[in-house]
A and B are shown apart, each in its own frame.
Chain A
Amino acid sequence: MSPADAISWALLAAGGVSCVLGAVGLLRMPDFFTRMHAASVVDTVGAGLILLGLMVQAGLTLVTVKLVVIGLLIFFTSPTASHALARAALARGLEPKLADGGAPSKP
């Protein structure tokens, strides 16, 4: 168990756990907009840690370059998709569930 393996094992375990946590949050959150929070946990922390763990495992090769490209891809496209999703939901009149029954939030 060389140090590189230990580091990548820890990163992969943390990434896997955060992916599962995000998915559990996706199920348990009461409202659509809160579920987007949970889903973005999977996109950012889960993907980031797993890709980092794989990069440590792969060392400085072409595989690591491709993993960096995948990381950048997820880094740029996931917020865009979430933004489009939220706007589409709001445009369709999907109101977020507010705490005190829809009263406007005090400053």
Chain B
Amino acid sequence: MRGSTPRNVAAGLAAVAIVAAAAGCGDNKDGGSGDSAKTADGAISMHGVQPQNPLIPGMTTETGGGKIIDYMFSGLMRYPAGGGNPEKLAAESMETTDSKVYKIKLKSGMKFHDGTPVNAKSFVDAWNWAAYSPNGAPNGTFFNEIDGYKDVHGEDPDGEGPKKAPTPTAKEMKGLKVVDDLNFEVTLSAPFSIWPTKTGYAAFMPLPESFFKDTAAFGKKPVGNGPVSFVSWQDNVEVKLTRFADYSLDDKVKVKDVTVKLYQQDSAAYADLQAGNLDFMEQVPISALAGQKWKSDLPDRAIETNIPTNGIIAFPLYDKRFQNADLRKAVSLAIDRQLISDKIFFGSRPPADSWANPSTPGNPSASCSVCKYDTAEAKKLLEKAGGFSDEMVFYYNADSSHKEWMEAVANSVRDGLGIKARAEGVPTFAVFRQMIDERKMKGPYRAAWQQDYPDVENWVGPLYVTGGSSNDGDYSNKQVDALYKEGTSAKDLEGAHAKFAEALKIVDADVPSVPVYVYKSQAGFGTRLANVKVDHVGELDISAVELK
């Protein structure tokens, strides 16, 4: 039952939780109809799931803990709701002339929840800790652009175990330099124009000195610098947060207490939401979406938002049978995306039409020329590719709700191309991921990508560049790699985005994978709340919310 919801799809399957510096949106002043006195000592509750890792920014890779880290920490940048370019949060300024050396100045007067000051050292030490490989932080790879990263992060020499990664030669990255209390300088090993955007991601949050004294204790009782501070964490029951009185940035929360209730089944949370025992749920259960039932269950209390995640069918390009681009194009053209969106997802996940998410800054719109449904063209391309004589098996992990749409894809391809095709489930996500990691997939398989930070670079780099972190089909095109490099070393974002758009044109000709649909979140809230807004990943904006 768990794992049958879109939330968990995103949690377990779609990359890492995207984490905004803080969920704030200071410029939203409309629709406020709350009672300010009630709000000032009011408490709200929201749906959550038990965090799977210690509550440490560098350790948190899933949405359960990601949400809490998100609320508790404020990073250099924040990502505005509804997409768009990031804004400065803890950073006063971030200057560069060559996209290689960044001079960062922090806002003054910021404090951690334990009262200690947030300074340049808090950032530099936190980043060094996460990047240092013996600490085993899953988010350590986010620092790979910084000069000296290779000296602190050892990797398994043959890339697949069982050999151990060598112990690194240094403990600190030489590209990080503290200038004074509020200033520090970051030198990258090569120019990377998107780097400031990246610093809004959870892995880049500052950490107080107490963290380095006892990391294990910190993971159970974290101390952040965000608008809410930690009160308690009762396993499988709830995490309590409260307003941080000394918070100095502009995304202060108006309510006093925030409780994240840890549910195992979203149906229980949905029943609580309808009965008034829960104030906010970022994703209603799939069963409530059928026939738009959730909108009648929650009159005027339903919010639908785009979230930056795509559902994808990936090809194992290491398998000879899938190395012909025309075949891959034929498969893509034979998928009736509209029908799948309407019938399987009840319209809650619209068809994909571009190689990145439509809301991503820098995404060239409708860039995918093979994302339409055209069986005549598909058959022609299949013939050109020499046909496909084997049975095409589409793989998915059966522990989450992918069966229906993957079967629809297989049937669509079978009927559209006139070949044998079916869908087959792999028992669990872990086994599925292992097959992918070991490059043992024998057919096209389900994938998803949720951007870590809002920029088209976070799609081109991980998915289409040779050796990208989620380029699991081993797609490789020298032109794409070269354009990506030109883009990342461009002087400004516009120049970078132009290069990435060019790279995506080549991707469009190669079709290394097939975008199928884009995700939307369907959130619901209780009658007590006013001024409810959701952030860029569909979570509640706790800075805006008020009580009636």
Q: Do A and B come from one complex?
A: no
